[in-house]
Structure 1
Amino acid sequence: MDQLEPTVPSKDDCNIAMLSHLLGIFTGFLGALIIWLLKKDDSAYIASQSKEALNFQITITIGFIIAWLLAFILIGVIFVPILLIVNLIFCILGAVAASKGQAYRYPFAIRLVQ
C-alpha cells in the first residue's frame, strides 16, 4: 500500500498564506475573506491558512464589539489596546509560520468558517 507524502506548499502558496495573516492587521477579516474566497480551490494550504486567519479576525472583531459595548462602563477602554496588541502579535506569528510552509493555528479563535 503506497503512503501519500504530505505535499509541500509552493513558495507562491506560502506567500499568499502569509499575506492572509498579515492583512488581518490592516483590513480585519476582509483581507483573509477575499483571499479565502479567491484561492480556496487552488491550494489546500492557502485554504486552510486563510480560513484560520479569517476565523481569528472574526474572533477579534467580536472582541472589539464587546470592548466597544463595555466602553460605556469604562472596562472596554482597557480591552481595546490589549486586543490591538494581541492581534498584531498573533498575525505576525501566523505570517512567519506560513512563510515557512508550516500550518499555523491561532491559540484562541472561534472556528466559525469550516
Structure 2
Amino acid sequence: MITQEEKTFAMLIYVLSFFSGLIGPLIIWLVHKNESEFIGAHGKAYFNFFISYAIYGFISFLLIFILIGLILIVIIGILTIIFTIIAAVKAYNGEHYDIPLTIKFL
C-alpha cells in the first residue's frame, strides 16, 4: 500500500521541477529512492523525461536555422508543462504514469 507521504514526495518531484530545475527533484529522489519503490519509480520517470526532452530541445535548437525549430521548441515547451502537471496529479493519486515520448535511460 502506498502511503500519503510517498504520494506527496512523488508529486513533489514533479512540482519542484518548476521552481528548482533538477536540484529539488534530485534531492527528493536520492533521499527516498531506497525507502520507497513508488518514489524511486517516479524519480526515474522524471529524469528519463528530463533527459529525453532536453535532447528534443537541443535538436529543435539546431533546427532553428531551418525555421522548423521555432515551432518545435514551442511545442516541446507546452508538452513539458502539460506532462509534468499530469504526472504530478497521477503521482498524488498513487498511480504510475509513463510520460509520452520519453526514452528510458535509467
With the length of structure 2 as denominator, give the TM-score of the two structures: 0.89
Residues 74, 28 of structure 1: alpha-carbon distance in 2 compared, 3 angstrom cutoff:
farther
1:79 matches 2:72: yes
Q: Offset of 1:12 from its aligned partner?
A: 1.2
Q: How big is the alpha-carbon RMSD for the aligned residues of Structure 1 and Structure 2?
A: 1.6
Mind listing any 5+ residue stretches in structure 2 that lack a counterpart?
none
With the length of structure 1 as denominator, give the TM-score of the two structures: 0.83
The total of aligned residue pairs comes to 106
Higher helix share: 2
Q: Percent identity among equivalent residues?
A: 39
Q: What letter is aligned with 1:42?
A: E
The residue that corresponds to 1:39 in the other structure is 32
The residue that corresponds to 1:68 in the other structure is 61
SS of the residue aligned with 1:69? helix
The residue that corresponds to 1:23 in the other structure is 16
Which is higher, the Rg of structure 1 or of structure 2? 1
Quick check: 1:20–1:50 contact (8 Å CA) kept in 2? yes
Mind listing any 5+ residue stretches in structure 1 that lack a counterpart?
1-7
Q: Using the alignment, how far apart are the partners of 1:45 and 1:101 within structure 2?
A: 8
